Amino acid sequence: MATTATPGSRTIFRRPASHTGFWSWITTADHKKIGIMYGYTAFTFFILGGLEALLIRIQLAQPDSAFLSASEYNAMFTMHGTTMIFLFVMPVSAAFFNYLLPLMIGARDVAFPRMNAVSFWIFVFGGVFLYTSFLFGTTGPPAGGNLAEAASRLGSGPNGGWFGYAPNSGIRFSTGTVMDYWSIGLQILGLSSLISSINFIVTIFNMRAKGMKLLRMPVFVWMTTVVAFLLLFSLPIIAVALFMITFDRSFGTLFFDPSMGGDPILWQHFFWLFGHPEVYILILPAMGIVSEVLPTFSRKPLFGYPAVVFAGAAIGFMGFGVWAHHMFSSGVTPITQAAFGLSTMAIAIPTGIKIFNWIGTIWGGKVKLNTPMLFSLGFVGMFVIGGLSGVTHSIVPADWQQTDTYYIVAHFHYVLFGGAIFGLFSGLYYWFPKLTGRMYSEALGKVHFWVFFIGFNLTFGPMHWLGLNGMVRRTWVYAEETGLGPWNMAVTVGAFIIALGVLIFMINWSWSKRNGPIAPFDPWDARTLEWTMPSPTPEYNFAVNPVVTSLDDFWHKKYTEDSDGRPVRRPEAAALVAELEEVGLNPPAPIHLPNPSYYPFMVGLGMPMIGYGVIYRGAAWGIPLGIVGALIIIGSFIGWGVEPLEEPHEEHSDHADEPEPGDDHGEDA
Amino acid sequence: MAEEHALAHPTPRQYVQIAVLLAILTAIEVALYYLEQSIDAFTTSIAAPLLILLAVMKFVIVVGWFMHLRYEKSLLSKFFTTGFVAAMVLYVAVLFALGAVVLL
Amino acid sequence: MADVAHTDGHHDVHESTGIDNRKLGMWVFLSSEFMFFGALISNYMLFKGRDYSAFVPAGQSVILPRELYDIPFTSVSSFVLLMSSLTMVLAHDALASGDQNRTRVWLAATGLLGSVFIGGQVFEFTEFVQQGMTLSTNPAASAFFVLTGFHGAHVFLGILMLLSLYGISKRQGGLTESQGLNVELVGLYWHFVDIIWIVIFTIVYLIP
Ligand SMILES: [Cu+2]
């Protein structure tokens, strides 16, 4: 404890002490609480993004509809994409990482608990900042075309698409402030993800339990690792690009203004250099979840664990080499087209390996079709369709036909909804008992799956032929004579069926959380370390630091194999589980935990203040507000610097376990 | 951890010597710049590789000795090199795709 | 930001790699900074070679950053930043040998040299603006200012961290072991900012 005995640890605030109630959530540094907050916040944004999608679909249900104005439509499709990507799928994945990563590798917390809280609060304030565009944003005088009407509040969201293509997003064509909200908001959100990626990398490399070698880590942890590296190396690129657009808009630089010698194609390169790895950032967490769910419900080990891990790493690596396939119609050279067409075909190989391994896992297993398993199977099926339509884009001339049509929309929704979101819901059901200590309603869960499955395919299936028939993206009306009306109506009906599915999920979740039957200790007869703990997980996670001797350690402690290789439950398994439960609830020695802190919240609070300062630098209060925001952040970090992580003079400051000498300090990178 | 101290860190005196070396390298860089400016035969295409070589030397010295990377576990070098190489490869590819002349 | 001093050292659990969490985190962060500065540098490389004569009013000439460089001046400020790496490493060394006073002296010296560098950059920018090159002159000028400006912002952040360490040490009469690691971390950050300048000095200033 020598290192925390700080002289003069008095700080500006009294340290928060309580472990329950409102303030305990604001000040927590517990990865599980942060994970839960990530989850609920992300789900709130999921509802918002979903409502935006429904408005889009009402508008497009009929030809020549006047339900939304053009500017409202622009704001809706921009914010639908931005919300679902940056405010739902990424943070809900972060929720899983936060909650599960330490549990799966046998750690008491992440490497930097308070930095973890910083990530979360920056995310919350960044998301809220982005959405305040609807309250305060202006679209400016119309630049001509069809935008001749004054924008309503609904039309005052960012409106340049989630990709924010220059020069449309530049000051010349977007004279109002809404794209400032977008560029600065994403900058803040990116900072949050960058911090958490560093945190997760250090956690994975440094905090593993004894014996948890890298190739004994669950596949979900491996996919977290790959995602963290993708974030680490791709976020700085978008940070620079967003700084450039912000400077173009606010401080008169000319990077993307072709009328002054700037280069809009540079934006596209930087954006997609980030944007394609981003696609894998969205899908890999779901792949990790599915790789945990399929073996558990097939009662077989994951088929070809090293291949799945290696394929995941290969996807991450190759994901940086395919970005220009988003730009085939942007006038890139033939060499670039050929090179990126080939690399795009090549990246299908590791993805295909994973699909085969998942099928191999189910093959011959004793499959139990519980809700998580249904969603995982749905993931595999839908992702195959989305992956195959994706490969068609690598054929450059075909891509020219498909670009900017609903075919593309169909493709990436099969990957990101049929893939990522099905996988994430699979995880939500799978770990629900761990999170709450109760079981969800299996019947409602299955209804949710089938409603989702039907609604999803009705929504996004017809988009393939709508697109190939010439229905263009990002356009708020289409003419009656195109004949696209009937299928569009079907798509809209499908979208509302999806909304019904979400409603069923919410009812199931909120009811079961309080009233569901008490979940057994290890309800799925699972394989990974988080199931060796009581549910809900106690604050200290592991009562005794675990020691791991093999991949799927928990499973091997419960099961052995007969002569045909079939799993046979060991007679002592029940006693083992009972003992784990007993020990888990009664730690033999006191355990000290990171203390809560106000500073992470303060750091988050400072971020949007700087953002408003930049946007409203012309107003008398603008620059002062920004400076105050910066001072809050700097002051918080200084206060933090003198505040020890664990309170030195607390009663229970003994170590439960001293680090043992001679642990495997191998640099098994 | 005995293996970490197998290589002794430099003494303050050695740090000063390293800094002098860095200063000399910088002086050579500036001298090369002026040679390139004043002598016609000494073209940019000759000077530039030399300048880059000198910059690489300074880079390696600062990273290796001042940042102690040569005394650290190899995992840190792996992270650091990955970032550096990834940045080089990706941005050269971007500049190539944009039709810009790379470096020279 | 992740690079600001903090004390999240978690001594409860052993570190699988044998490297302190904070130190590993700093190196991971620095590896991602290559992507950040790489983007800014390649941005400058792209725009410096382009022809902007079509975009200036007839009769005016294009002002490019390289025509305004004051190499002797920049050489001196590069030298100053290089020497600040020396004082930084001496601060770390002094702390390792337990000399708190000498640590503070070298921390202050590093901050001072950094401030001289920033002062030089402010002077250079003012000079360029007076000679007619601003953020809005052409994309090459924009890229120059944004690249060197973000580098300067990193130096500025480093100075803030040095000042905080100095202040904490002064107030407490020395740095604890855990805070001492922060000296090493700030040092890593500081040297990294220095190597980025080594690259910028060569490929932005010296190679025309
Ligand atoms: Cu892509």
pLDDT in tens, C116-166: 999 999 999 999 999 999 999 999 999 999 999 999 999 999 999 999 899
pLDDT at A384: 95
Secondary structure class of A422 (helix, strand, coil): helix
* pLDDT recorded at residue C23: 93
Interface test with A, best of C6, C8, C50, C62 (most A CBs within 10 A): C8
Q: Write out the residues of chain A at the interface with chain B, using a CB-CB cutoff of 8 A.
A: 205, 233, 263, 265-266, 269-270, 273, 320, 324, 332-333, 336, 665, 667, 669
Q: Which amino acid is residue A192, in one-letter code?
A: S
The pLDDT value given to residue C7: 35
Q: Tell me which residues of chain C, numbers 60 to 119, contact chain A at a CB-CB cutoff of 8 Å.
A: none
CA distance A627 to A610: 7
Q: pLDDT at position C206, please?
A: 92
pLDDT at A475: 92
Active site residue A464: no
Nearest to C46 among B54, B67, B95 (CB): B95
The DSSP letter of residue A593 is -
Give the per-residue pLDDT at A552. Answer: 86
Which pLDDT does position A3 carry in this prediction? 32
User: What does the pLDDT read at residue A662?
Assistant: 35
Residue A12 has pLDDT above 70, yes or no: no
Rounded to the nearest integer, the mean pLDDT of chain A is 88
B76 and B69 Cβ atoms separated by less than 8 Å: yes
Q: A643 φ, ψ to 5°?
A: -95, 120
**Chain A touched by C7 (CB under 8 Å):** yes
For residue B63, the model assigns a pLDDT of 94
Whole-Å CA distances, C41 to A153, A349, C44: 40, 34, 5
Give the residue-averaged pLDDT of A389-407: 92
Is 80 exceeded by the pLDDT of residue C25? yes
> C77: which residues sit within 8 A by CB, 6+ positions away?
C116, C117, C120, C121, C124
pLDDT score, position A610 = 96
Q: Name the active-site residue from A172, A473, A556, A557.
A: A473
Quick one: average pLDDT of A646-658?
A: 41
| Interface touch B12/C78, C-beta < 8 Å | no
Domain segments of chain C as ranges: 21-206
Task: Look at residue A390 and tell me whether its pLDDT is greater than 70.
Answer: yes
Q: How many helices (H) does chain B have, and how many strands (E)?
A: 3, 0
Question: Which residues of chain B lie closer than 8 angstroms to C187, CB-CB?
Answer: 66-67
Q: Using the beta-carbon criterion (under 8 Å), do A243 and C146 form an inter-chain contact? A: yes
Percent of chain A scoring above 70 in pLDDT: 91
Assess whether A617 carries a catalytic annotation. Answer: no
Q: What value does the mean pLDDT take over residues C5-27?
A: 68
Size of interface A-C (CB pairs under 8 A): 189
Exposed, middle or buried, B8 (CB in 10 Å: 0-12/13-18/19+)?
exposed
Contacts of A228 (CB under 8 A, 6+ apart): A196, A197, A198, A200, A201, A204
Q: How far is the CA of A568 from the centre of ligand 1 (A)?
A: 45
d(CA A535, CA A632): 38
Angle (CA) A161-A162-A164 rounded to 5° is 65
A52 is catalytic: no
Residue A531 has pLDDT above 50, yes or no: yes
Q: Which chain A residues touch B99 with a CB distance below 8 Å?
A: 333
For the cut 60, the answer to whether the pLDDT of residue A152 exceeds it is: yes
State how far the Cα of C53 lies from the Cα of C58, in Å rounded to an integer. 9
To the query of whether residue A597 is one of the catalytic residues in this protein, the response is no
What phi and psi, each to the nearest 5 degrees, are found at residue A387? -65, -40
Confidence bin at A143 (pLDDT 50/70/90): low
Residues of chain A with C-beta less than 8 angstroms from the C-beta of C36: 236-237, 239-240
pLDDT for residue A151: 67
Q: What pLDDT, on a 0 to 100 scale, did the predictor assign at position B100?
A: 76
pLDDT value for C3: 31
**CB-CB under 8 Å, A261 with C139:** yes
Cβ of B26 within 8 Å of Cβ of C88? The answer is no
Task: Give dist(CA A631, CA A610) in Å, integer.
Answer: 10
pLDDT above 60 for A147: no
User: Is B1–A265 a contact, with Cβ atoms under 8 angstroms apart?
Assistant: no
- Closest Cα in chain C, distance from residue A600 (Å): 11
Please indicate whether, in this complex, the C-beta atoms of A645 and C10 are within 8 angstroms of each other: yes
Residue A127 pLDDT class (50, 70, 90 cuts): very high
Name beta bridge partners: A503: none
Reported confidence tier of residue A646, pLDDT bands at 50, 70, 90? low
C51 in contact with B, Cβ within 8 Å: no
Residue A641, chain C, CB below 8 Å: the answer is: yes
**Rounded distance from Cα A544 to ligand 1 centre (Å):** 44
Percent of chain A residues topping a pLDDT of 90 = 70
Q: Which pTM does this prediction carry? A: 0.92
Q: Kindly report the nearest CA distance between residue C20 and chain B, in angstroms.
A: 11
Distance from CA of B6 to the nearest CA of C (A): 15
Q: Is B95 within 8 Å of C27 when comparing Cβ atoms?
A: no
**Residue-level pLDDT at A1:** 30
> Which of B75, B83, B98 comes nearest A669 by C-beta?
B75
Tokens read off for A549: 């001797």
pLDDT, mean of residues A576-584: 82
Burial readout A369-384 (b: 16 or more C-beta within 10 A, e: otherwise): ebbbbbbbbbbbbbbb
Residue A54 reports pLDDT greater than 50:
yes
Looking at every residue in chain B, the average pLDDT score rounds to 86
Q: What is the pLDDT of residue B5?
A: 47
Ligand 1 centre distance from Cα of residue C29 (Å): 25
- What does the pLDDT read at residue C4? 30
pLDDT at B44: 80
In contact, A110 and A102? CB cutoff 8 Å: yes
Instruction: Return the partners of chain A (3 or more C-beta pairs < 8 Å).
Output: B, C
Q: What is the pLDDT of residues A112-122, one digit of tens each?
A: 999 999 999 99
- Closest Cβ opposite residue C31 in set B15, B18, B83: B83
Contacts of B75 in chain A (CB under 8 A): 205, 667, 669
The neighbours of chain B, by the rule of 3 or more Cβ pairs under 8 Å, are A, C
Q: State chain C's mean pLDDT as an integer.
A: 89
* CA geometry: angle C112, C115, C117, nearest 5 deg: 115
**In this complex, do C38 and B87 lie within 8 Å of one another by their Cβ atoms?**
yes
Strands A559-561 and A567-569: antiparallel
Q: Rounded to whole angstroms, how far apart are CA atoms A72 and A55?
A: 10
Q: Tell me the HSE value of A596 on the side-chain side, using a 13 A CA sphere.
A: 21
Minimal Cα distance from A335: which residue of B? B97
Q: Which of C10, C35, C142 minimises the CB distance to A236? A: C35
Separation in Å, CA C74 to CA A340, C49, C191, C195: 41, 21, 18, 15
Q: CA dist B47 to B52, C67, C191, Å?
A: 9, 18, 26
Q: Chain B: which residues have CB within 8 Å of chain A?
A: 1, 73-75, 78, 83, 86, 90, 94, 97-99
Residue A172 has pLDDT above 90, yes or no: no
Separation of alpha carbons A141 and A138, rounded Å? 9
Q: Does A663 touch chain C (CB under 8 A)?
A: yes
**Which of A18-22, A372-376, B93-97 is predicted with the least confidence, judged by mean pLDDT?**
A18-22
Q: Where do the DSSP E strands lie in A499-645?
A: 559-561, 567-569
Task: Give the residue on B whose Cα is nearest the Cα of C26.
Answer: B76
Say whether pLDDT at A250 is over 70.
Answer: yes
Per-residue confidence (pLDDT) for residue C9, from 0 to 100: 38
Reported as a single tens digit per residue, the pLDDT across B25-59 is 999 999 999 998 888 888 888 889 999 999 999 99
- Whether domain C21-206 has CATH 3.40.50.300: the reply is no
For residue C140, the chain B residues in CB contact (below 8 A) are none
| Cis before A594 (ω within 30) | no
CB contact under 8 A, A260 and C139: yes
CB A278 within 8 A of CB A234: yes
Q: How far is C153 from chain A (nearest CA, A)?
A: 13
Tell me the DSSP string of C126-178: HHHHHTT--TTS-HHHHHHHHHHHHHHHHHHHHHHHHHHHHHHHHHHTS--HH
Residue A389 has pLDDT above 70, yes or no: yes
pLDDT in tens, A436-451: 999 999 999 999 999 9
How confident is residue A184, by pLDDT bands cut at 50, 70 and 90? very high
